[in-house]
Amino acid sequence: MDTTLEPRAPRELVICFVDLSVYTMDTRRTADDAAVADIMDDYYERVTLAVNGAGGRVVKFIGDGALFVFPPERADAAVLAMLALRSEIDPWLATKRWESRLVVKMHCGTVIAGSYGGAGEKRFDLLGDAVNTTARLATRACAMSPQVFRLLSPEVRKRLKKHTPPILYIPIEDRHA
């Protein structure tokens, strides 16, 4: 349990949600819950390494989903880490005979970040419309809002293309969101 309390404050952050595309179907075909737990623990380790390595912070894991954040000045590193993570996770899942693919959603906006929860159980979290906007990005693969795209260097922007409507940016190699 994290006992460090962080005062709540407005912060501009790059917000990222990831989850696995057909997780429920894959778990139903997997031998038992212990095997699923082992796969998920390995998945959590891979996600955490990618996020921490890019200067981000894992907020929480919920089943196959994860919420994490990056400071806006780390937007290039965040996007590159998520592209690399997709390139790692998808083939790794195939070795497990899973059909799931990593879905990535990224947006930048102001949230209220800090400690939330019951007495003695407070943990870092974030709330606000920007979190909901991130969750609602329409993709089955990888997408980011124009707010993230505007933060990127010209070199990283070259790895993305515009996808509409609404306007989203997706990796060049993806055919559709």
Residue 161: pLDDT band (50, 70, 90) is confident
Place of tokens 């994290």: 2
Whether 35 maps to a domain, the answer reads yes
- pLDDT of 163 reads 77
Q: For 132-152, how does the pLDDT look when each residue is reduced to its tens digit (9 = 90+)?
A: 999 999 888 999 999 999 999
pLDDT exceeds cutoff 70 at 4? no
Count of domains observed in the chain: 1
CA–CA distance, 83 with 99 (Å, rounded to integer):
19
Q: For 79-109, how does the pLDDT look when each residue is reduced to its tens digit (9 = 90+)?
A: 999 999 999 999 999 999 999 999 999 999 9
CATH number for position 115: 3.30.70.1230
- For residues 40-68, give the mean pLDDT: 97
Whether 165 maps to a domain, the answer reads no
- pLDDT of 170 reads 77
φ, ψ of residue 140 to 5 degrees: the values are: -115, 10
Across 43-59, b (16+ Cβ under 10 Å) vs e yields: beeebbebbeebebbbb
Whether 26 maps to a domain, the answer reads yes
Where in the sequence is the domain holding 125, given as residue range(s)? 9-136
- For residues 119-128, give the mean pLDDT: 94
Nearest residue to 78 via CA among 10, 145, 31: 145
- For residues 35-61, give the mean pLDDT: 97
- For residues 46-59, give the mean pLDDT: 98
Whether 79 maps to a domain, the answer reads yes
- pLDDT of 166 reads 67
Whether 132 maps to a domain, the answer reads yes
Whether 160 maps to a domain, the answer reads no
- pLDDT of 162 reads 84
Whether 78 maps to a domain, the answer reads yes
- pLDDT of 41 reads 97
Whether 22 maps to a domain, the answer reads yes
φ, ψ of residue 72 to 5 degrees: the values are: -55, -35
